[in-house]
Amino acid sequence: MKTRPYHHGDLRAALLVLAEDTLRERGPAELSLRELAREAGVSPAAPSRHFKTKQALLDALAIEGFDRLITVLAGALEQTGATFAERLSVLTRTYVAFATGNPALLELMFSRKHEPSAPAELIASTHRLMIMATGLLEDGQRRGEVRAGPMIPLAVPLAAVLQGMTDLALSGGFTPDQVELGLTETITFILRGYAP
């Protein structure tokens, strides 16, 4: 069998797009560098120039997922008001929208962060997301809208709410209207918990 020569403009980006499509449609177990090479129209060895292993590709996809999520959250926060209530509402709604629109990617993003073999760049990506959340809380404290306390313990309820609402929205047991009403009630509830 004659191999195709490598003639692709941005193979790394193309492989990440194809990998995300496979992840979404069939899950990470079905991901194959050889199959992705075939879909990209390059030789079976070409992906190894960018990703030595399937896990390296999955890690890069997870990092890209964090980058996209952080960009979407930052963009949404730039477009909203300055109060803690407004910013918490936008952050919560934007996170849940991203998560429910990309459930397989979100699962991949968070599945390896605590593994000893997780790459430093992936760990740094999770920290950037945590810094965004704690920054929201710190700003609320400075403005007198969030009670005093250490950031990490204060951030835990926010993380729990984000994950919990995402899980409920993805469960299929709720209509979009019910999810929206649940978000509104949850945001109101958590604002009371953060109140000084």
In the block, tokens 């019910």 appear at: 178
Count of all residues that appear for the chain in the document:
196
pLDDT for res 4: 44
The pLDDT of residue 29 is above 80: yes
pLDDT for res 1: 39
Across the range 134-154, mean pLDDT stands at 96
Q: How confident is the model at residue 61 (pLDDT cuts 50, 70, 90)?
A: very high
* pTM of the model as a whole: 0.88
pLDDT for res 167: 92
> Distance (Å, rounded) from C-alpha 165 to C-alpha 190?
12
Across the range 8-12, mean pLDDT stands at 79
pLDDT for res 143: 96
Percent of the chain clearing pLDDT 70 (strictly above): 96
The pLDDT of residue 9 is above 80: no
pLDDT for res 3: 41
pLDDT for res 8: 52
Instruction: Tell me the domains of the chain and their CATH numbers.
Output: 1-52 (1.10.10), 54-194 (1.10.357.10)
CB 196 within 8 A of CB 147: yes
Across the range 164-174, mean pLDDT stands at 90
Kindly report which listed range (83-87, 95-99, 113-117, 157-161) carries the lowest average pLDDT score.
113-117
Per-residue pLDDT tens digits for 106-133: 999 999 888 888 999 999 999 999 999 9
Q: Specify the higher pLDDT residue, 5 or 113.
A: 113
> Distance (Å, rounded) from C-alpha 142 to C-alpha 157?
19
Across the range 148-166, mean pLDDT stands at 93
> Distance (Å, rounded) from C-alpha 63 to C-alpha 71?
12
